[in-house]
Amino acid sequence: MPGGTGNTWDWATAAALAPHHPFALAGGLTAANLPEAVRASQAAGLDASSSLETAPGIKNPDAIRAFLEAAAALPPPPASFVWKGNS
C-alpha cells in the first residue's frame, strides 16, 4: 500500500513480525483507533500524518494533541522492542 493514504488496514497481519522485527505502524491512525491498532499489531512505534490534518498539508492541533494523549496512555512496548542501534 502506498504511504500517505490515511487508510486503515488489518493491523493483526503485522503482529507476527513484532517479536523478530520491531516496526512502526502507519495507516489511518487516530486517537480513537490507536489502542486497538497497537494491541492488534504489537507495533513498537507509530507514524501518523494525514489523519491529523484538516486538509492536505494543514495539521489540526486538536487532533495532534488527542493523538499524543492517546499514545501516552498506551503501555510501553516490551523491552525486546527497544532500539539497540545497528546490530
Given a cut of 50, is residue 2 above it in pLDDT? no
* pLDDT tens digits along 23-44: 888 888 999 999 999 999 988 8
The tens digit of pLDDT for each residue in 3-27 reads 566 677 888 888 888 888 888 888 8
Tens digit of each residue's pLDDT (9 = 90 or more) over 44-65: 889 999 999 999 989 999 999 9
Question: H helices of 1-87, where?
Answer: 34-41, 61-72
Sign of the torsion formed by the C-alpha atoms of 27, 33, 37 and 38: positive
